[in-house]
């Protein structure tokens, strides 16, 4: 089974062009599944039945894993067994009868426009670090960027004169995302007056847009820490993270009447069903408004 997993991961990364981060997630999920199986099942996958698959997923629930992590585990397993079947390594896809656990999917936490505004204004605009952080937050919210897309953003991807940026997302797929003039102005001010102060070694800085105080590319972990710190200082609910801005970007566009297909393109979602989660968020918000203000509620 371990050899089959290696073949699968190589095929996904090379032939399908999946990102290294997605490959790591698949590897982690399949490692956990491998450890869950008995030695006999590892040696002969035909012994694995539906109850063993569901048992593995339910074990994840007992361990307190997030619904999204459990759903991803199922996707990883289904992709793996589909690959084995297509390659003739097993006679049939043993996971074909398994449904995706849609009921386990939780709705993303969305910040209100006022909360986003408070977060964006939290960095100290008088300091070099604060000006950089404000520019980062502006761009993340303006374009709905993933944190991985932000840390790898290069100067040549910025096209502010034409009002857009070019993003390389999951699977190395590129997309064009419009940028509001106010956000572009904030980032341009950082590029003109702050970024040069952060460059210690031009070779380290290269084309990376957002730099650390040491002049190197910021890491995803550091950006998570920064946003958590700024959110706490701004008095926002516990649990705000980089993806909160991406979720808020999509939800606010939908609330303002933007077509779902357009939001899908700007987020870089391969499947419209991924974007549709925000329609449920908007419905939930409408129910809350109805409950709070309708006289018959």
Name the catalytic one among 73, 132, 134, 146: 146
DSSP 8-state code for residue 194: I
Annotated catalytic residue 34: no
Annotated catalytic residue 141: no
| Residue 252: strand pairing partners | none
The C-alpha atoms of residue 272 and residue 270 are separated, in whole angstroms, by: 7
Q: In degrees rounded to 5, what are phi and psi of residue 175?
A: -145, 155
Annotated catalytic residue 156: no
Name the catalytic one among 78, 168, 243, 285: 243
Name the catalytic one among 26, 141, 190, 278: 278
Annotated catalytic residue 52: no
Name the catalytic one among 195, 247, 252, 269: 269
DSSP 8-state code for residue 201: -
Annotated catalytic residue 243: yes
Name the catalytic one among 52, 170, 220, 241: 170
| Residue 159: strand pairing partners | 164
| Residue 168: strand pairing partners | 174
The C-alpha atoms of residue 187 and residue 134 are separated, in whole angstroms, by: 8
Q: In degrees rounded to 5, what are phi and psi of residue 257?
A: 105, 10
Name the catalytic one among 73, 132, 195, 246: 246
Q: Closest Cα to residue 73, out of 12, 17, 16, 31? A: 31
Annotated catalytic residue 247: no
Residues with a known catalytic role: 146, 170, 243, 246, 269, 278
């Amino acid at each position: 089974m371990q050899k089959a997993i290696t073949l699968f991961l190589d095929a996904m990364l090379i032939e399908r062009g999946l990102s290294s981060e997605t490959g790591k997630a698949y590897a982690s999920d399949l490692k956990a599944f491998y450890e869950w199986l008995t030695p006999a099942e590892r040696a002969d996958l035909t012994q694995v039945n539906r109850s063993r698959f569901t048992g593995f997923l339910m074990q994840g629930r007992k361990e307190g894993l997030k619904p999204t992590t459990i759903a991803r585990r199922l996707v990883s397993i289904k992709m793996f067994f589909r690959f084995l079947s297509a390659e003739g390594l097993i006679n049939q896809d043993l996971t074909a009868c398994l449904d995706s656990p849609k009921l386990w999917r939780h709705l993303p936490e969305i910040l209100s426009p006022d909360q986003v505004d408070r977060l964006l204004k939290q960095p100290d605009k008088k300091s070099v670090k604060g000006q950089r952080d404000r520019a980062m937050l502006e761009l993340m919210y303006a374009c709905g960027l993933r944190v991985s897309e932000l840390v790898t953003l290069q100067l040549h991807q910025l096209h502010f004169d034409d009002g857009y940026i070019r993003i390389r997302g999951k699977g190395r797929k590129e997309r064009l995302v419009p940028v509001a003039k106010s956000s572009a102005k904030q980032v341009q001010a950082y590029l003109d007056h702050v970024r040069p102060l952060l460059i210690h070694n031009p070779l380290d800085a290269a084309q990376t847009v957002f730099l650390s105080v040491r002049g190197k590319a910021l890491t995803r972990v550091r950006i998570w820490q920064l946003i958590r710190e700024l959110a706490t200082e701004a008095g926002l609910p516990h649990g705000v993270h980089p993806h909160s801005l991406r979720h808020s970007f999509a939800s606010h566009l939908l609330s303002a009447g933007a077509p779902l297909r357009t939001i899908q393109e700007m987020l870089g979602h391969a499947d419209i069903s991924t974007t549709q989660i925000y329609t449920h968020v908007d419905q939930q918000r409408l129910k809350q408004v109805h409950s709070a203000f309708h006289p018959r509620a």
